[in-house]
Every structure is written in structure tokens, then in C-alpha cells.
Amino acid sequence: MYSRNKIISVDVSERIDLRSRAGESFNLQIVLTNTDGSAFDLSSYTLTFEVLDSANTVVLSAATGTGLAISGNEIAIDKSAADMSALAANNYSYRLKAVNGTYEKTWVDGQFMLYAGITPPVTTYDTLQKPVYIQGSEVNFVISNN
């Protein structure tokens, strides 16, 4: 007889890859809504957006009040072309982390691809919707370039 492994994951993060051109400004907007369509309350959360190199060293970051703004149920991440010029065209990883009291979770993560030259031929979306579970509730993330 064989045994099936059972896995319980407490990782709530969803993978969404991001792509941007090296040396140009980076602007991302995320709108969070509850499953009934009402606005998700972000007022008690502190957020951090981090880009990491292959050694898992943070090479670019934005936090609430510093390159990351929260307005109602919307998150805006804005990095200038000067900030982005500090990174070479390469594949990185990123994460959007949320803290609310003792709650600390990565909500979204994935590859952060910076390219130079001609746009790579892959399917991309201007807007993407993904459900994420936050503190026991399903919340819809709508992510778009702004």
C-alpha cells in the first residue's frame, strides 16, 4: 500500500508575473474588493512592495507613504525612471507584503522581468483579476498598469 501525502498551505499569496521596460517609470494599480463587490478596507494595513535579485537581496522597494500609496481600497505603486534605472535588464522576483497587527502575509508575488530593446513576444494583460484569501475572506485583486 502507498500513502498519499496531504498538504495544508497557509501561504495565501497568488503568483502574478510583472514585466516592465528597464529604465522607464513603473506604475501599478491594485484595487481590492470583497466578493460582494464592496471596497476592501485597507486602512489598518501597512504594505511593502519589494523587488529581489537572485540572491534574495532587496534591490528596489516601496512602502506605504514612500512610493506606495493607499487610497480607500486602491494601492498605487509608482517608481520613477531614475529609480528603475538602478536596475539592469534582468529577471528578478517581487512580493507585495501586508502587515496588520500580528498578521503578516505576502499577498502577491512572482517574477519581475525587466527587459531592454524589443518587447518580448509573450501574452500580456493590461488588467488581471485574481482572488486572494485575506484573514479568512476571499478578496478580489484587480491589478492594472496605470
Cα–Cα nearest to 30, from 61, 87, 68:
68
pLDDT for the residue 125: 62
pLDDT for the residue 121: 58
pLDDT for the residue 14: 84
For 6-20, 100-114, 116-130, which range has the lowest pLDDT when averaged over its residues?
116-130
Report the pLDDT averaged over residues 91-98: 96
For the chain, the domains span 14-145
85: phi then psi, degrees, rounded to nearest 5: -70, -15
3-state secondary structure at position 126: coil
Residues 6+ apart with CB under 8 A from 127: 142, 143, 144
Between 64 and 140, where is the model more confident?
64
What pTM does this model have? 0.83
Which tens digit of pLDDT belongs to each residue from 15-61? Answer: 889 989 899 999 999 999 988 889 999 999 999 999 999 999 999 99
Summary mean pLDDT of the chain = 87
Report the pLDDT averaged over residues 53-76: 95
Kindly indicate whether the domain formed by 14-145 is annotated with CATH number 2.60.40.10. Answer: yes
Q: Is the pLDDT of residue 93 over 90?
A: yes
Q: How long is the chain?
A: 146
Q: Can you tell me the distance from the alpha carbon of 92 to that of 56, in angstroms, rounded to the nearest whole number?
A: 9
Q: Is the pLDDT of residue 5 over 90?
A: no
Grid cell 512602502 in the structure block, residue = 63
Report the pLDDT averaged over residues 61-90: 95
pLDDT for the residue 40: 92
First CA to last CA distance, the chain: 55
